[in-house]
Chain A
Amino acid sequence: MAIVRVAALKDFRTNALSTSYVSTGYNLGPLTAAQRLVGFFHLTCSSTGRTLVATIQDSSSSGFTTLSTAFTFGLSSEIGSTWPAPVAMSTDRQWFRATWTMSTAASTGGSWKGLMGMGIQ
């Protein structure tokens, strides 16, 4: 395992997320055929009983008209961190962004803090 140089896709350690959102798309690729995409997620504050679904999406265009979900993170109600198995991807995928969806089941929204990012290994 080599060290991975990473870029943040969304830093919300200070300003909590409280609504569903899609981050800015960033041109951080493409990967070569031999490389793999790494995604990681630090969840530093969560709301008990609510649900957060966070993903990293990739696309060949800045408009994300055709997109794939590279990672879906499993942390939602308990603080911690996760680093799913790195994935290979097509060499035309160079745009990346973070997304998150909050639970709407509760009458009042939750709030989450953390840091989501990616690297190329």
Chain B
Amino acid sequence: MGQTIAEKIFSYHSGKKVFAGDFVIVELDLVMAHDTTCAWAIDPFYEIAKKVWDKKKIIIPFDHAFPAPNIAMAKLQNKIRVFAKEQNIPIHTNGVCHQIMAESFINPGFLVLGADSHTPTGGGLGALTIGVGSTDAAIAMATGTCWFKVPQTIRIEISGKLKQGVYAKDVVLSIAKQFGPEGGNYRVLEYAGPTVMSFNVSSRLTLTNMSAEMGAKAAIVAPDKRTAQYLKENGRQYLLNKDLNSDEDARYEKIIHIDVTNLTPQIAMPPDIDNVEEVRKLEKKRIKVDQVFIGSCTNCRIEDLDVVYKIWKKNRPNTSLRIIVTPASKRVYLQALAKGYIKFFTELGVQILNPGCGPCLGRHGGVLYDGEVCVSTSNRNFTGRMGSPKAFIYLTSPATAAATAVAGYIADPRSFLN
């Protein structure tokens, strides 16, 4: 019987041929925990171990609130620094964890554990990257292993050419509308079809990242020449020597076909990910916006900033709004610097924050007040996520966010791109 990509990766890491429903203990390639989840893993770790299983395979990024915005956060980061020093593990301060994992660490076929819910992002490179809590991360740091029930896979085949002004984010928001916040729970979402394979890695990472919002255990795109190209651009070799394609007779829980030819820009309205509407419909309501946030592991790679630049080059943003751009990583920041975007955006009155999670989780740099409206390129519009529980968060593509920054109200980007 054939296997899905996920079943193959679980098989390669458990030493036996496994299928959905099997219970496995796997050997991990990497374990990631960041500046909050790592802090919670340290005490449990020292309860059961003295030394980490392999210091080269543990990645600790500081991104959720770095540099520390308050004493409580400084205390957590200090706790991690002490641990990292004791274990001789470097701390990475060059961007959002999922972005730097993609740029520098994840290879196709890897099985990676991450103490963060958006860990499925790395599946955009053809790896199986799974989110867990801090205790699982602590045990993994001690043993290099983790247990799993091999999940069912839902294959999402996407066809059709996206129209101008419509992007991977709009595609995945339309999928979230269909799936809801539980539609992918315990499953692997395997994105396939000509549209997905035409996407660059940046866009694929947007699909896999948002899969976490549908509850997915992991999300994956089969690696191909674009994956190889991405690795090369990031100074890495494509080390793949194993089959990472789903077999034709693989068993899926279901296969869904989506044609995106007529898709328009989408927006997730507060406070749910599946509360999705067409931007053109909301535009008519002239919803006044206080803050625009272009950042996060979902959407602030250089390809995203290319689109923002294209819109703002012709249409000056309205700086009565607070406009925040947080490049996803140091690499993206330097790319934006080289292309002149950082200077251009700064002169327009846009606030450029250091690479990291930025305002996405409401800890620093762009916290919202009661009644304020934010249009964000991030992945969560939960009540209270970015500050006051009385604030309103709308999720869009970078193009819609950039268009909104110009208009001052939620705006369809298509009229700004002609």
Chains A and B belong together in one complex: no
Question: Measuring CB to CB, which residues of chain B are less than 8 angstroms from any residue of chain A?
Answer: none
Question: A residues within 8 Å of B by Cβ?
Answer: none
